[in-house]
A and B are shown apart, each in its own frame.
Chain A
Amino acid sequence: MMRKSRLLGAFMAVGLLGLGSPVLWAADAVASSQKAALDSPKASIETLDQALLQTMQAGKAAGYAGRYKIIAPVLAKVFDFDKIAQLALGSEWSKLSAAEQKQFVSVLAKYTAATYAGRFDEYDGERFAVVDTQELRPGTMGVFTTFTMKSGRVHRFDYLLEQSANKEWRVVNVVADGVSDLSLKRAEYTELLKSKGFPALLAHLRRQIQDYASGAKS
Chain B
Amino acid sequence: MNLGRTAIVLGCAAMLCLSGCATVQGPNGQSSSNDPLEPINKPIFNANLWLFRNVLGPVNQGYEAVTPKFFRTSVSNVFANADMPYVFVNDFLQGRVQLGMSGLSRFLVNTIFGLGGIFDVANKLDLPKQSNNFGVTLGVWGVPQGPYLVLPFYGPSSLRNLPGLALAIYTAPPYYFPSSNAQWAWSGMGIINTGHVDAPQVRMVEDAVNPYVFARNAWEQHEQFLIDGGKVNKSQLLEGLDLPPATATTDSAAATP
Whether A179 and B241, one on each chain, are in contact in the complex, defined by CB atoms closer than 8 angstroms, is no
Whether B234 and A178, one on each chain, are in contact in the complex, defined by CB atoms closer than 8 angstroms, is no
A151 to B126, CA, bound (A): 11
Q: Which residues of B105-161 are within 8 A (CB) of A?
A: 120, 122-124, 126-129
Chain A contact patch, size range: 35 or more
Chain A, Cβ-Cβ closest to B29: A187
A194 to B7, CA, bound (A): 44
For B241, the chain A residues whose CB sits under 8 A away are 87, 140, 160, 162, 172-173
A12 to B236, CA, bound (A): 46
Q: Which of B10-18, B45-53, B174-182, B208-216 touches A?
A: B208-216
A184 to B221, CA, bound (A): 10
Contact of B232 among A91, A140, A158, A185 (CB under 8 A): A158
Whether A188 and B207, one on each chain, are in contact in the complex, defined by CB atoms closer than 8 angstroms, is no
Instruction: Give min CB distance, B150 to chain A, whole Å.
Output: 16
For A194, the chain B residues whose CB sits under 8 A away are 248, 250, 254
B55 at the interface (CB under 8 A from A): no
A153 at the interface (CB under 8 A from B): yes
A154 at the interface (CB under 8 A from B): yes
For A180, the chain B residues whose CB sits under 8 A away are 27-29, 221, 236, 239-240
Q: Given contacts A87-B243, A90-B254, A173-B241, is CB(A153)–CB(B129) below 8 Å? A: yes
A4 at the interface (CB under 8 A from B): no
Whether B254 and A188, one on each chain, are in contact in the complex, defined by CB atoms closer than 8 angstroms, is no
Chain A, Cβ-Cβ closest to B123: A152
For B214, the chain A residues whose CB sits under 8 A away are 184, 187-188
For A186, the chain B residues whose CB sits under 8 A away are 29, 240, 255-257
Whether A192 and B222, one on each chain, are in contact in the complex, defined by CB atoms closer than 8 angstroms, is no
Chain A, Cβ-Cβ closest to B28: A183
Chain B contact patch, size range: 35 or more
For B226, the chain A residues whose CB sits under 8 A away are 178
For A160, the chain B residues whose CB sits under 8 A away are 237-238, 240-241
B244 at the interface (CB under 8 A from A): yes
Q: Given contacts A90-B254, A182-B257, A188-B208, is CB(A156)–CB(B230) below 8 Å? A: yes
B65 at the interface (CB under 8 A from A): no
Chain B, Cβ-Cβ closest to A160: B237
Contact of A91 among B123, B207, B217, B246 (CB under 8 A): B246
A52 to B2, CA, bound (A): 50
Q: Given contacts A179-B222, A184-B217, is CB(A190)–CB(B232) below 8 Å? A: no
A158 to B49, CA, bound (A): 29
Chain B, Cβ-Cβ closest to A212: B207
For A91, the chain B residues whose CB sits under 8 A away are 243-248, 254
Whether A90 and B232, one on each chain, are in contact in the complex, defined by CB atoms closer than 8 angstroms, is no
Chain A, Cβ-Cβ closest to B251: A191
Whether B120 and A151, one on each chain, are in contact in the complex, defined by CB atoms closer than 8 angstroms, is yes
For A188, the chain B residues whose CB sits under 8 A away are 208-210, 213-214, 255
14 A-B Cβ contacts within 8 A? A87-B240, A87-B243, A136-B234, A152-B122, A160-B240, A172-B240, A177-B230, A179-B225, A187-B29, A188-B209, A188-B255, A189-B255, A191-B255, A217-B207
Interface residues of A (CB under 8 A from B): 86-87, 90-94, 119, 134, 136-137, 140, 142, 144, 148, 151-154, 156, 158, 160, 162, 172-173, 175, 177-180, 182-192, 194, 201, 204, 208, 217
